Structure 1
């Protein structure tokens, strides 16, 4: 069975692209007993579990993050990766979908977990907002705050990979320079700006409408929003991206990883070994190259 990809809420589960994409698991967090039972069953069935949760949960009520860490501590398992991701809700759902796609490929659990940070960098997550008065995820100028009180004002906001805010009709959001598929979720969409203006400007290769995550209104500070997220969707491209990064072995748990930190035990990559003394190097015909991380 492929590595299980778990999320903390059912509205973070996006429909699969195809029959090969495994389903996501919704982590039961109602009680500690149900959380322990559910996680133990996942480990028994899949071997390894990668559980994604909003990084904001650690700074808000923190219940989801605390419960997950308690479960891992009680089970004393090194097969559970707990990843707090600093993405808006729809962006987090997209990342979970990408990891589900990759879990069906020959990607080891350690590489899959550490790939989350890499893939998150290629997700363009934002929203169309009717007000930025209560927005605290992206820097908002005093001028933008004042304009948000003007009737009919709308703002395009990008939270990832680089924060950006523009007033609709007076600027453009910087989009990806690679092919993406755009997801759009709106409860009470203030306009069709996302699909008629943003999507063509970003030259997306497809648009799909999905339900708005329950957490989105709190995350963006208003219920007058249309959330969007653009990212890689072809599993062969995702696989090529992850496979192109140099793999290392975690010095603590022994799993493979990419980047500078293990997704399961959070141990940092060991620093390169110190170079031999000059006299020794001069006598050797082999030149050691410092190890680099892609």
Structure 2
């Protein structure tokens, strides 16, 4: 059985890209499920899948995050990974689906878990907003704040991989230099900007719409928004990208990993080994090797 991918909200589970992509398990909040029930559910997942990768956004309530770590601690299991993602909600959903795709490949659970940090660099997550006055997760200058009070103003904001903010009509967001698809979640803002302007500017190979995650208005500071995420949709590209990175063994828990941190125990790679790490990068849509 593939490694289980679990999430803290049902709207982080996007429709599968093909019949092989498995769904994700739901880890309920403490106010919706008792600790005993959460322990029982996790035990079943471990028995069925061997390993569980719990993915959750950095914005979930502290009590929910504590529940995840409590379950891991009580079960005394080193086969549960708790991955906190500092991405906008739609970006988290995209990354969750990519991990679901990778879970059925011939990668070890440790490689799948640590691949989350690598793949997040290739997700361009942002939103179209009618106001940035309550936006506190992306740097906003005083000038932009002032403009947001002008009726009809709209702002294109990129939160990942690097923060950007432009007023629509006076600039463009710098996009990916590799082939992507664009996923769009519409809130209460009425606009076709994402499909008619952003997608062509970023040379997206396709545009798909999905429901807006429930946490998006809180994350972006307004319900009048359109959230978007450009991502790598092809599992063969994802596979090659992850395969291009040198694999190491965690000195603390013994699980295989890529990158500089274990996805299961969060231990950093031993400093003496860092120089042997090989990073995979994408150039114009083609995975390349770059030795360091």
How does the TM-score come out when normalised to structure 1? 0.91
Mean alpha-carbon deviation: is it higher for 163-172 or for 30-39?
Answer: 30-39
Question: What is the CA distance between 1:64 and its match in structure 2?
Answer: 1.9
Q: Which residue in 1 is equivalent to 2:48? A: 45
SS state of the match for residue 271, structure 2?
Answer: coil
1:83-103 per-position Cα deviation (integer Å, ceiling 9, x unaligned): 000000000000000000011
Question: What is the CA distance between 1:26 and its match in structure 2?
Answer: 1.3
**Partner Cα separation in structure 1 for residue 147 and residue 36 of structure 2:** 49
Q: Which residue in 1 is equivalent to 2:231? A: 231
Mean alpha-carbon deviation: is it higher for 34-43 or for 150-159?
Answer: 34-43
Q: Which residue in 2 is equivalent to 1:277? A: none
The answer to whether residue 124 in structure 2 is matched with residue 139 in structure 1 is: no
Q: Which structure carries more strand by proportion?
A: 2
The answer to whether residue 220 in structure 2 is matched with residue 220 in structure 1 is: yes
SS state of the match for residue 233, structure 2?
Answer: coil
Question: What is the CA distance between 1:63 and its match in structure 2?
Answer: 2.0
**Partner Cα separation in structure 2 for residue 42 and residue 292 of structure 1:** 32
1:234-255 per-position Cα deviation (integer Å, ceiling 9, x unaligned): 0000000000000001111111
SS state of the match for residue 267, structure 1?
Answer: coil
**Partner Cα separation in structure 1 for residue 272 and residue 45 of structure 2:** 36
Question: What is the CA distance between 1:293 and its match in structure 2?
Answer: 4.5
Q: Which residue in 2 is equivalent to 1:55? A: 58
Query: Which consecutive residues of structure 1, in runs of 5 or more, have no partner in the other structure?
Result: 274-288
Q: Which residue in 2 is equivalent to 1:87? A: 87
SS state of the match for residue 272, structure 1?
Answer: helix
Q: Is contact 1:28-1:34 (8 Å) kept?
A: no
The answer to whether residue 207 in structure 2 is matched with residue 207 in structure 1 is: yes
Closer, same or farther in 2 for the Cα pair 1:196/1:290, shift >3 Å? closer
- 1:174-193 aligned at under 5 Å gives the runs 174-193=174-193
- Considering only aligned residues, what root-mean-square deviation do their CA atoms show, in Å? 1.3
Q: Which residue in 1 is equivalent to 2:276? A: 291
Q: Is contact 1:130-1:190 (8 Å) kept?
A: no
**Partner Cα separation in structure 2 for residue 292 and residue 192 of structure 1:** 43
Q: Which residue in 1 is equivalent to 2:289? A: none
- 1:133-172 aligned at under 5 Å gives the runs 133-172=133-172
Runs of 4+ in 1 over 3 A off after TM superposition: none
**Partner Cα separation in structure 2 for residue 137 and residue 187 of structure 1:** 18
**Partner Cα separation in structure 1 for residue 14 and residue 59 of structure 2:** 20
**Partner Cα separation in structure 1 for residue 277 and residue 210 of structure 2:** 40
Tell me the number of residue pairs that the alignment of Structure 1 and Structure 2 aligns.
276
- 1:73-112 aligned at under 5 Å gives the runs 73-112=73-112
Q: Which residue in 2 is equivalent to 1:119? A: 119
**Partner Cα separation in structure 2 for residue 227 and residue 236 of structure 1:** 26
Q: Is contact 1:54-1:87 (8 Å) kept?
A: yes
The answer to whether residue 27 in structure 2 is matched with residue 2 in structure 1 is: no
Query: Which consecutive residues of structure 2, in runs of 5 or more, have no partner in the other structure?
Result: 280-292
SS state of the match for residue 138, structure 2?
Answer: coil
Q: Which residue in 1 is equivalent to 2:267? A: 267
